[in-house]
């Protein structure tokens, strides 16, 4: 058995200041890695920095405050990380927020779609240069692969009609499934892509924006039925130490998810990639984070 200690890695965690992301940040700092944690609340980032200071890891933790539902903010974060951390070994995508009412971002996009799906598309593609500098680059998208509920509403992805919390979350969950399929099929980044379902996890931060009765019910249920954030962060941490060989893997807790599920349809994945490129262009003109265009991106304009 080899006694070699793996060299320290650089890990970027979106949503690294609470819940599963924060548990992963703590775990990786404990293993000697450099970590960039992104979140929107300054107090959560400052608390994490103070904790790292106490454990002697402050020099290895960077907190980036950003509102990731905005394309302009994701661009700023990618520019900053690329300048300060030219090599990123693993990007872990965990930022999400559950909203009871439909909200639009300052850029005019539906919030859940913008944060839970679009920021992940942009971070993964935008950091391709820094990921390509790592020997075994990895992206872990913490979402809900294996769930069949929900779909991309091609006629109204911004859910202007009939917004419901579960509908918005499930649409972005399925969009992340398709993002993994499309990412793995693209030549622009060598990163292995893992879609990871953590299962029901006791992370009260996720319920802060829900109504009091719903949040209370979830809290009570979580006491008996949920995993701890530390437990949920275990599989992504192990994947960082030993990235899979396959371009795309989907895992529900420890179990592999069938890649043949209709939720991973390659035609839908290519269609979503085209629609996403169009949406970004319609919203901000263009973005340096967009991946190189492939013939597939130009095809199927009739969809």
Ligand X SMILES: NC(=O)c1ccc[n+]([C@@H]2O[C@H](COP(=O)([O-])OP(=O)(O)OC[C@H]3O[C@@H](n4cnc5c(N)ncnc54)[C@H](OP(=O)(O)O)[C@@H]3O)[C@@H](O)[C@H]2O)c1
Token pair of 21 as six digits = 């992301």
Q: Does 236 participate in binding ligand X (rule CB under 6 A)?
A: no
Q: At what angle do helices 42-54 and 19-30 cross, to 10 degrees?
A: 20
* Cα pseudo-dihedral 234, 240, 244, 247, rounded to 10: 120
**Does 234 participate in binding ligand X (rule CB under 6 A)?**
no
Binding mask 172-211 for ligand X (x = CB under 6 A): --------------------------x-xx-x-xx-----
115 binds ligand X (CB under 6 A): yes
CB of 169 to ligand X, least distance (A): 7
Dihedral, CA atoms, 48, 53, 55, 57, nearest 10 degrees? 90
Only one residue has tokens 């371009």, namely 247
The answer to whether residue 17 forms part of the interface with ligand X (CB under 6 A) is yes
Q: What tokens does 52 get? A: 């790292």
Smallest separation (angstroms) from ligand X to the CB of 252: 10
Least distance to ligand X, CB of residue 230, Å: 11
CB 251 within 8 A of CB 89: no
How many residues contact ligand X, by CB under 6 A? 29
Residue 40 in the binding site for ligand X (CB under 6 A): yes
User: Considering the rule CB under 6 A, would residue 140 count as an interface residue with ligand X?
Assistant: no
Sole window of 3-11, 27-35, 89-97, 262-270 interacting with ligand X (rule: CB under 6 A): 89-97
Q: How far apart are CA 35 and CA 149, in angstroms?
A: 34
Nearest to 142 by CA among 168, 190, 180, 109: 180
Closest distance of CB 303 from ligand X, Å: 27
Least Å distance, CB 58 to ligand X, is 19
Burial environment of residue 285 by CB neighbours within 10 A (0 to 12, 13 to 18, 19 or more)? exposed
Q: Does 39 bind ligand X (CB under 6 A)?
A: yes
Q: Which residue among 52, 66, 127, 175 contacts ligand X (CB under 6 A)?
A: 66
Nearer to ligand X, 68 or 273 (CB): 68
**Smallest separation (angstroms) from ligand X to the CB of 198:** 5
Q: In angstroms, rounded to a whole number, what is the distance separating the alpha carbons of residues 68 and 257?
A: 28
Residue number closest to ligand X, CB atom:
19
Would you put residue 239 in left (φ > 0), alpha (ψ -120 to 50) or beta? alpha
Instruction: At 111, list the tokens.
Output: 């919030």
Tell me if 74 contacts ligand X by CB under 6 A.
no
Q: Taking the complex as a whole, how short is the minimal distance between the CB of residue 232 and ligand X, in angstroms?
A: 7
* Structure-block tokens of residue 112: 């859940």
Rule CB under 6 A: which residues touch ligand X? 15-21, 39-41, 44, 66-69, 94-97, 115, 142-144, 198, 200-201, 203, 205-206
């Amino acid at each position: 058995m080899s006694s070699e200690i793996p060299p320290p890695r650089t890990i970027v965690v979106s949503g690294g200041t609470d819940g599963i992301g924060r548990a992963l940040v703590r775990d990786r700092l404990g293993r000697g890695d450099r970590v960039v944690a992104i979140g929107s609340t300054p107090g959560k980032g400052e608390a994490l920095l103070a904790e790292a200071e106490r454990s002697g890891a402050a020099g290895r933790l960077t907190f980036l405050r950003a509102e990731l539902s905005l394309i302009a903010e994701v661009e700023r974060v990618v520019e900053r990380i690329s300048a300060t951390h030219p090599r990123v070994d693993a990007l872990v995508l965990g930022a999400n927020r559950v909203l009871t009412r439909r909200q639009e971002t300052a850029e005019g996009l539906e919030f859940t779609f913008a944060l839970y799906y679009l920021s992940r598309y942009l971070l993964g593609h935008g950091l391709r240069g820094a990921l390509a500098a790592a020997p075994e680059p990895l992206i872990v998208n913490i979402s809900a692969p294996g769930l069949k509920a929900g779909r991309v509403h091609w006629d109204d992805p911004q859910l202007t009609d009939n917004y419901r919390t579960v509908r918005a979350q499930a649409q972005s969950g399925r969009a992340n499934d398709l993002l993994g399929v499309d990412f793995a099929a693209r030549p622009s980044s060598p990163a292995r892509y893992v879609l990871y379902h953590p299962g029901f996890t006791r992370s009260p931060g996720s319920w802060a924006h829900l109504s009091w009765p719903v949040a209370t019910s979830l809290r009570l249920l979580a006491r008996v039925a949920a995993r701890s954030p530390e437990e949920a962060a275990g599989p992504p941490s192990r994947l960082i130490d030993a990235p899979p060989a396959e371009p795309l893997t989907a895992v529900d807790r420890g179990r592999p998810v069938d890649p043949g599920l209709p939720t991973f349809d390659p035609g839908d994945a290519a269609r979503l990639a085209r629609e996403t490129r169009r949406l970004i262009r319609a919203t901000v003109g263009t973005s340096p984070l967009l991946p190189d265009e492939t013939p597939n991106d130009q095809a199927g304009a009739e969809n």
